[in-house]
Amino acid sequence: MTGTHVLEAHQLVKRFGEFEAVKGIDVEIDRGESFGFLGPNGAGKTSTMRMISAVSQPSGGTISIFGLDPRTHGPEIRSRLGVVPQEDSLELELSVRHNLEMFGRYFDLSRRVVRERATELLEFTQLTERANDKVDNLSGGMKRRLTIARGLMNRPEILILDEPTTGLDPQARHLLWDRLYRLKREGVTLIITTHYMDEAEQLCDRLVVMDQGSIVAEGAPRTLIEQFSTREVVELRFTTDDHEEYFDRLAPFAERVEVLPDRVLLYVNNGDDTLRDVHAAHITPTSALVRRSSLEDVFLHLTGRTLTE
């Protein structure tokens, strides 16, 4: 282990029979950093997460967490990690509070300590009023918050979140993000997988884009956007069944053109200028939108498809 890295993985491979889910990735994560794994379903994010949570063994390559090898120090490593899995996997038969208390017991915390921490974390995740309810009666957002609270019972140095906001409504997402910012400020290292671009831009200091088991790009969100996209994007919609037919006519106006089923994207430096030029050429879209480039565009460029498909 060198310097401040809390996690280092080199040429990490995960195979399931013939299928290679993770194809030799390299990752180094610093203490206190908020690091994202971005990619569509099936990109190998969850397999990677399971390896860096010291749950499943790599099929190849090396991994070191807190300078320890998960093959020999699994329990020690896991006692310092918090994991928020994709599926909540809460104890449906237990109350909200008991879910937290029992989880703390797995870390050999005393009954007094688990009670105190449960109270504290219920407050932190705004679940105090539901403390004695059965988990089954909670909304999706509340279950998610409870799962995060559960992952914090052992005061982890690294919190690993696998698609933390999938399936949540906007309010629930923002509340969750707010809690994650606070943890970050307290110095907790966050490792997040997501297929939401806005989430990655909001939360991550640095991220890797994964596609089909490999890392296709790495950097800070802003850097990636500068590197792989233009400053602005013009989105045009036409009354047509096939937007493809506009490709040739629009190509001269932009550095790059992407045709999606319902719209055409023009990658340009000044969106308003381009839009004026398009209108001047007597091309009349039914709607037009100029916006800043986002990670979504980076992803589209790198993998040739939209992320949410």
Partner 1 sequence: MLARSFPMIGSRRSLRVLERNAMIYRAQWVMLVSGFFEPLFYLLSIGIGLNKLVGNLHVHGQVISYVAFVAPGMLATSAMNGAMIDSIFNTFFRLKISHSYDAILATPLEVTDIALGEVLWALSRATVYSASFIVCMAALGDTSSPWVIFCWPGAILTSLTFSCMGLAACTFMRTWQDFDLVTLVQLPLFLFSGTFFPITSYPHWLGAIVWFSPLYQSAALLRGLSLGQFDWIMIFRAGYLLFIALIGLYIAARRFKKILTP
User: Which stretches of the chain bind partner 1, using CB under 8 A?
Assistant: 16, 50, 53, 55-57, 74-76, 78-79, 81-83, 85, 87, 89-95, 98, 102-103, 105-108, 150-151, 154
Short-list 37, 69, 83, CA closest to 214: 37
Nearer to partner 1, 86 or 306 (CB): 86
Nearer to partner 1, 50 or 301 (CB): 50
Annotate 152-210 with three-state secondary structure: CCCCCCEEEEECCCCCCCHHHHHHHHHHHHHHHHCCCEEEEEECCHHHHHHHCCEEEEE
Q: How far is the CB of 87 from partner 1 (least distance, A)?
A: 6
Task: Tell me the C-alpha distance between 75 and 107, whole Å.
Answer: 10
Q: How far is the CB of 212 from partner 1 (least distance, A)?
A: 19
Do you know the residue count of the chain? 309
Short-list 183, 182, 225, 175, CA closest to 200: 225
Q: How far is the CB of 81 from partner 1 (least distance, A)?
A: 7
209: CB partners within 8 A, 6+ apart: 38, 39, 215, 216, 217, 218, 224, 298, 299, 302, 303
Nearer to partner 1, 103 or 267 (CB): 103
What does the angle CA 225 – CA 46 – CA 55 come to, to the nearest 5 degrees? Answer: 135
Q: How far is the CB of 96 from partner 1 (least distance, A)?
A: 13
Task: Tell me the C-alpha distance between 26 and 46, whole Å.
Answer: 16
Nearer to partner 1, 78 or 130 (CB): 78
Nearer to partner 1, 40 or 85 (CB): 85
Nearer to partner 1, 157 or 198 (CB): 157
Task: Tell me the C-alpha distance between 86 and 144, whole Å.
Answer: 9
Q: How far is the CB of 143 from partner 1 (least distance, A)?
A: 12
| Helix ranges restricted to H, 220-290 | 221-228, 247-250, 271-280
Nearer to partner 1, 79 or 214 (CB): 79
Q: How far is the CB of 19 from partner 1 (least distance, A)?
A: 11
Q: Containing H/E element for 148?
A: helix 140-151
Residue 255 phi, psi dihedral angles, 5° rounding? -65, -35
Q: How far is the CB of 117 from partner 1 (least distance, A)?
A: 14
